[in-house]
Amino acid sequence: MPLSTTNVATSAVFQAVNCRRSYSKVTAPAPTRAELLPLVAAAARVADHGALRPWRLLELRGEARERLGSAFVAASGCEGGEAIKLAGKPLRAPLLIAVVAVRRVSDKVADWEQDASAAGVAHLLTLLLDDAGWGAMWRTGPLARTAAVRAVHDLADNEELLGWLYVGGIPVDCKPGVRLSIDPAEFLEVL
């Protein structure tokens, strides 16, 4: 029997989703690979028509983040102070998790649906990271689809980079997340 509306509002899943926020700044500790593996296993429960698992994740730590910064600079063509600032962007978190959509050949599952599954993994992973006490923010931008950035991630022709989860500790002085409430009736229509 489904939960009543009252019970749903007090469920742990509802609270996790309702309180979700992005952390634009994180601190130096980051989850280890061993800590990430069960979270990735849980995120793999995302809706996945055809059970294609049309995604993969890449950990970028240490020098890998510097290579990504260099690829940003190469792709942008900027120089001087602007290049230094751009090269430093991947260093804003101790761990970046690249989210890659892997488009499998399928007569039943379109590319867009496979991309949606990969995006779902990323979103579930942000919720799981938050539940485990980590701060995360999904970042992307025009440089994600450039040749230099694709090369750093060693992407195959059937793969697209959807962005990175920037992951680290939650700063002690972090202000509460602010998100404007919506009127759900404006977004839930009836045909």
In the block, which residue shows the tokens 């496979």? 114
Maximum distance among all Cα pairs of the chain, rounded to whole angstroms: 62
Per-residue model confidence as pLDDT tens digits over 135-158: 999 999 999 999 999 999 999 999
140 is in an annotated binding site: yes
Determine the Cα–Cα distance for residues 10 and 188; give it in Å rounded to an integer: 22
27 is in an annotated binding site: no
139 is in an annotated binding site: yes
Domain boundaries, the chain: 23-169
* Predicted local confidence at residue 6, as pLDDT: 67
CATH of 23-169, one of 3.50.50.60, 3.40.109.10, 3.10.20.30, 3.90.78.10: 3.40.109.10
33 is in an annotated binding site: no
* Predicted local confidence at residue 16, as pLDDT: 84
14: enclosing H helix or E strand? helix 12-18
56 is in an annotated binding site: no
* Predicted local confidence at residue 3, as pLDDT: 64
* Predicted local confidence at residue 8, as pLDDT: 77
* Predicted local confidence at residue 129, as pLDDT: 96
* Predicted local confidence at residue 46, as pLDDT: 97
10 is in an annotated binding site: no
Question: pTM (2 decimals)?
Answer: 0.92
Which of 87, 86, 26, 98 has its CA nearest to residue 61?
98
Q: Which residues of the chain have pLDDT under 70?
A: 1, 3-6
153 is in an annotated binding site: no
150 is in an annotated binding site: no
Which of 112, 96, 92, 94 has its CA nearest to residue 152?
96
* Predicted local confidence at residue 64, as pLDDT: 98
